[in-house]
Amino acid sequence: MKIKFGNVVENIVTRKEFPLKKAQKVLKNKTVAVLGYGIQGPAQALNMRDNGINVIVGQRKGKGPNSSWNRAVKDGWVPGKTLFSIEEAAEKGDVIMLLTSDGSVGEVWKKIEKFVTAGKALYFSHGFAYVYNKLTGVKPSVGVDVIMVAPKGSGTNVRRNFLNGAGINSSYAVARDATGKAMDLTLAIGIAIGSGYLFPTTFEKEVTSDLVGERGILMGALCGVMEAQYYTLRANGHSPSEAFNETCEELTQSLARLVDENGMDWMYSNCSQTAQHGALKWRPIFRKVTEPVFKRLYASTKKMQEAREVIRDTGRADYKEFMAKKLQDMHDSEMWKAGEAVRSLRPREKAKANAATAAGVQGRKVTK
């Protein structure tokens, strides 16, 4: 389907054009091996299983009840039948979905490379491992299809949106079509994992936009700007409750929903004239001061500096402790403690609905 985005026309693939029945037909005689049961792995594996695809999971055994292996067991994957070591799953799979973390993908590749043979497909949900192969070593042999479907959201939302029927938008790309069937396979998987619609990209464009987006407006910039406003208000005598509501709560619980419905201009038109006037005045000012930062971020990404740092830092022996401390520091900051208190004051019925949704995301056993 051709859709016009401003002056640009893109080919978008919808569920209507590529229905689930067609996806099931394409994948009918294939075993899809999902390697890694961390962030994207559980959601994509569970969604495909619920859609009738023959899926197995590859995950190393971990210690403790909260290990990814035990999480997979709780989600209904059976050791020796649908749950295997990473190496055994790669050997059994016709489509090998490499969904391990970017920092560990190089080591995982060394273990599975011999099983990624001609006629098989190597699937990614991020261009990192393949584009930065000088850093990761991921260089599949001739005869292997190299494909990607990249959901535009966390694994939690990939699963959550699947369960509520909405789906999540995904980009897709074929880097190598060795079998002549790679495109149909890519779209079939995109539909099977529950994509709302699919839009084309390349591995290189996906990894660049993804790294910029995560470090920028989606996470890094958003949190940084929120903190700047919150602590400015606090420094000028505003209470934690007032500062948090004006910075975060109104954004997430009201304004972002209006943007989601009909766009930023529609959100502006549904706010007071005072808010409209101020936003229109300060919008270009914020753009002017932040655009140089985004240009610096984009350049750092293109030079592979961001990728090098990901591999360097996530490869630290103490990385989990290192990251846990950083996240704990964020959690313990006044701003997010205020947020914790504000969330506790939301209506109970809403809190119950959120809890039920979160529980459903963990997985469900399908009976046939």
Between CA 202 and CA 147 the distance in angstroms is 10
Catalytic position from the list 126, 238, 277, 331: 126
Give dist(CA 115, CA 181) in Å, integer.
20
Q: How far apart are CA 196 and CA 69, in angstroms?
A: 29
Cβ of 302: how many Cβ atoms within 10 Å?
Answer: 13
d(C-alpha 120, C-alpha 115), whole Å: 9
Q: Measure the CA–CA gap between 282 and 61, rounded to whole angstroms.
A: 52
In 3-state terms, what secondary structure has residue 172? Answer: strand
How far is 81 from 284, CA to CA, in rounded Å? Answer: 58
Cβ atoms of 148 and 179 closer than 8 Å? no
294: burial class by Cβ within 10 Å (0-12, 13-18, 19+)?
A: middle
Do the Cβ atoms of 79 and 71 come closer than 8 Å? no
Q: In Å, what is the CA distance from 317 to each residue of 36, 157, 321?
A: 19, 30, 9
8-state DSSP, 102: T
Q: Is 126 in the active site?
A: yes
Catalytic residues: 126
